[in-house]
Amino acid sequence: MNDTTSLRKKLLYRSLHRGCKETDILLGKFAAEFIGHFSDYELGEYEKIVDLDDHELYCYITGKQTIPISLNSNIMNSIVKFNSSFFL
């Protein structure tokens, strides 16, 4: 198993087992569908997102808080868009 495959598996696990069930669902479903297609750069961006606190991440995904510039990336915007149907 190469480093990229290992990182994908690690990030998928961390996405599905966050500690907060709501965030598990929002981030886990996104990761399960898209993480296999991420480039190394995108995996790095996604890892920054996974490192966030559950409550903070939930607020960004649901639009309760504005995403800070440091996290405003294609990956974060894709996560928000992917989950937007839950919050219409």
CATH topology of domain 3-83: DNA polymerase; domain 1 (1.10.150)
Contact 40, 49 (CB under 8 A): no
Per-residue pLDDT of the chain (88 residues; tens, 9 = 90+): 689 999 999 999 999 999 899 999 999 999 999 999 999 999 999 999 999 999 999 999 999 999 999 999 999 999 999 999 876 5
Domain boundaries, the chain: 3-83
The pLDDT assigned to 88 comes to 57
How many whole angstroms separate alpha carbon 72 and alpha carbon 43?
15
Contact 63, 82 (CB under 8 A): no
The pLDDT assigned to 17 comes to 95
The pLDDT assigned to 85 comes to 85
The pLDDT assigned to 25 comes to 93
